[in-house]
Amino acid sequence: MSDPAHTHKAVIEASWQRCRSFGLNPKSAPSIVQLNRGDWQDAQDKSKELIVTTQEQVLPFYENILVNSNSLVLLADRDGNLLSRWGRPGFVNQMENHLFEPGTSWQERFNGTNAVGTALQTGQSVVVGRDEHYLIANRYMAASAAPIYNCERELVGVLNISSDAYLPTSHVDGMVKVMTQSVENQLIMATYRHQHYMLVFNTGMDNHTSQWAGLVVFDAAGQVVAANRRADLLVGHTLVGLDIEAVTGIAMLQLSAHPENQTLSFVGLSNYRLFGTIKRPMETVIRAPVAPRAPASPKVQPVSPQKKGLHQLDLGDPKMQKAIKQALSVVNSDIPLVIQGETGVGKEVFAKAVHTSSDRRVPNLWR
């Protein structure tokens, strides 16, 4: 395992070397390179969702912490151009104001080693202490920045926290990482929440809904279509393209019927138990019946047709157990079965399970 201190030192040294190759001198003044009005408007339009998500859905949760620490939050696009800033005006006034005007570039070639530019260059979170800035003119602040990736794992921006206060670097670095993942999670959910299932999970029952949780998105067929970086880390695999049954060890039918407000636990591909909750699609997803698929992983054993029905919905909930018992008592009779419930509770899933559990399961289920 690499030494974090050594790795950090190597990142800073590599950045300083790039600065020299750009022809910069430590005594150089920062170069104020700004987009023209047209390019600035294009940059704003391309990053509109990123800006709104950061400002309205993430920053409000950290506002008190940031104000009390005399910090400044910067959001830059994938090219290092400043999109927006949030923080105390007094803190900005201590600096070179033009550096913090929207549209100003924070690339290393213009401003030397800095958290935004170096995070863009490395594609990873970076802490830059006061004396680690290549340009002496920038050594009045410490900063931490982390790249932001979209659903396709494409770099779309950088979130930065700067401060002139002597805050612990681990504190600032941890906060910027959590905020960055919060932004990424919101971007994923905004893209997929209408027609996809989501599994939010973590290592414990008390933290599986935190901002530092893993997030996996899968479709009605059970295929994983998106996941945040934390999810890959927790499971130990790149999850996109896998079958959710292989990931969790729980069948799709069982996951889709699991109550949203109840915690589930699983091991699946990971070597330890994880805890999570299911979020169903906001819109009803109707798909044609498909033939049972082969197990996605040798670890997942085939389930008999009888068990792929109502029995698979039994996760220990007393009300569900009662409904299953009642349905099983009439499943092979000609008595009509009426399934009632609020939108999103899984009526369609229950109906399919009833059909699958009956002796008449071979023909397709007509709706």
Mean per-residue pLDDT for 230-242? 93
Q: What value does the mean pLDDT of the chain take?
A: 83
Query: Do 242 and 254 contact (CB within 8 A), yes or no?
Result: no
Whole-model pTM over 0.85: no
Do 130 and 28 share a domain, yes or no?
A: yes
Question: Per mean pLDDT, which range of 56-60, 87-91, 97-101, 215-219 is the poorest?
Answer: 87-91
Euclidean distance between the first and final Cα of the chain, in Å? 56
Do 239 and 142 share a domain, yes or no?
A: no
- 364 band by pLDDT with thresholds 50, 70 and 90: low
Q: Look at 221 and 350; give whichever has higher pLDDT.
A: 221
Do 180 and 33 share a domain, yes or no?
A: yes
Q: Name, in order, each residue with C-beta under 8 angstroms of 125's C-beta and a sequence gap of 6 or more.
A: 119, 144, 145, 146, 147, 173, 176, 177, 180
Do 257 and 334 share a domain, yes or no?
A: no
**If residue 132 lies in a helix (H) or strand (E), which one and from where to where?**
none
Do 87 and 233 share a domain, yes or no?
A: no
pLDDT of 135 > 90? The answer is yes
Tally of domains within the chain: 3
Q: What is the pLDDT of residue 35?
A: 94
Q: What is the pLDDT of residue 86?
A: 86
Q: Look at 338 and 56; give whichever has higher pLDDT.
A: 56
Do 291 and 347 share a domain, yes or no?
A: no
DSSP string, 289-348: --PPPPPSSTTS----TTTTSGGGG-SS-HHHHHHHHHHHHHTTSS--------TTS-HH
* Boundary of a domain, candidates 248, 269, 302: 302
pLDDT in tens, 272-318: 899 999 999 987 655 545 455 554 444 444 434 444 477 766 655 66
pLDDT of 97 > 60? The answer is yes
Q: Look at 6 and 99; give whichever has higher pLDDT.
A: 99
Q: In this structure, is the dihedral angle defined by the CA atoms of residues 231, 235, 238 and 242, taken in order, positive or negative?
A: negative
CA distance 54 to 125: 17
Mean per-residue pLDDT for 56-62? 86
* Boundary of a domain, candidates 280, 302, 324: 302
Q: What is the pLDDT of residue 120?
A: 95
Q: What is the pLDDT of residue 89?
A: 46
pLDDT in tens, 152-204: 999 999 999 988 666 666 778 888 998 999 999 999 999 999 999 999 999 98
DSSP string, 170-206: HHHHHHHHHHHHHHHHHHHHHHHTTT-EEEEEESSTT
pLDDT in tens, 18-32: 999 999 999 988 899
Residue 176 lies in domain: 4-187
Mean per-residue pLDDT for 320-336? 79
Q: What is the pLDDT of residue 320?
A: 72
Do 95 and 21 share a domain, yes or no?
A: yes
- What secondary structure, in 3-state letters, does 241-270 show? CCEHHHHHCCCHHHHHHCCCCCCEEECCCC
Do 232 and 180 share a domain, yes or no?
A: no
* Boundary of a domain, candidates 159, 187, 215: 187
Do 110 and 224 share a domain, yes or no?
A: no
Question: Per mean pLDDT, which range of 80-89, 111-120, 329-338 is the poorest?
Answer: 329-338
